[in-house]
Chains A and B, each alone.
Chain A
Amino acid sequence: NAGVTQTPKFQVLKTGQSMTLQCAQDMNHEYMSWYRQDPGMGLRLIHYSVGAGITDQGEVPNGYNVSRSTTEDFPLRLLSAAPSQTSVYFCASSYSGLAGLGELFFGEGSRLTVL
């Protein structure tokens, strides 16, 4: 089983550039989310979605956009990258009924550096 797949695994951007982090899951999960991980701060929720066509903001949404056109895919867009967005990004998914209960399945992460 592929589970949750994130691409790319590594990316270096210059300030002001845009890019999209891709996330796909093959478990038919309704709930998908994006977290960023920074040293000493754990994981912070950026955006999440409870189904196709539905998205909502998490704790740290500024500078990021998401969309959910299909159940499988949940891309994260950085419109104008800033050094403060240097981080490791994780996509996670769950069955909708369980999402609030935290049984998330995580991808392997995407390490982003903004110069």
Chain B
Amino acid sequence: AQSVTQPDIHITVSEGASLELRCNYSYGATPYLFWYVQSPGQGLQLLLKYFSGDTLVQGIKGFEAEFKRSQSSFNLRKPSVHWSDAAEYFCAVGGKKAAGNKLTFGGGTRVLVKP
């Protein structure tokens, strides 16, 4: 069965500092990996995705993520955090349509940004 673990429930970071959110996954085949962001009271928005190829992927809002197959990880990073980055972030793993259209989410990491 596929699963996602986000070890950090909350992270507090100062504005302008760097941010890294951890994601570990379990998947029986080649995974498709995603990061979504949820602002308070809103739905989820796709930040970036990894399907294949270059293991460092760029997303919106200045975020990037690196796929490390040997570590089953897909960590999200941002070099300099802005106050508007305060939100909850979800890592997700899925596969091809033949795998059943199931996208499994991690428990989320809530990011607080200090002035």
Interface residues of A (CB under 8 A from B): 4, 31, 33, 35, 40-45, 48, 50, 58-59, 90, 92, 96-97, 99-104, 106-109
Contact = CB atoms under 8 A, between A and B. Distances in A.
Nearest to B1: A59
Contacts of A42: 4, 6, 90, 105-108
Contacts of A45: 102-103
B70 interface: no
B98 interface: yes
A68 B73 CA distance: 36
Interface size of B as a range: 20 to 34
Contacts of A109: 41-43
A100 B45 contact: no
Contact of B96 (A31, A100, A104): A100
Contact of B103 (A4, A41, A50, A102): A102
B49 A41 contact: no
A101 B33 CA distance: 9
Interface in B71-97: 90, 92, 94-97
Contacts of B32: 100-102
B11 interface: no
Contact of A102 (B41, B92, B106): B92
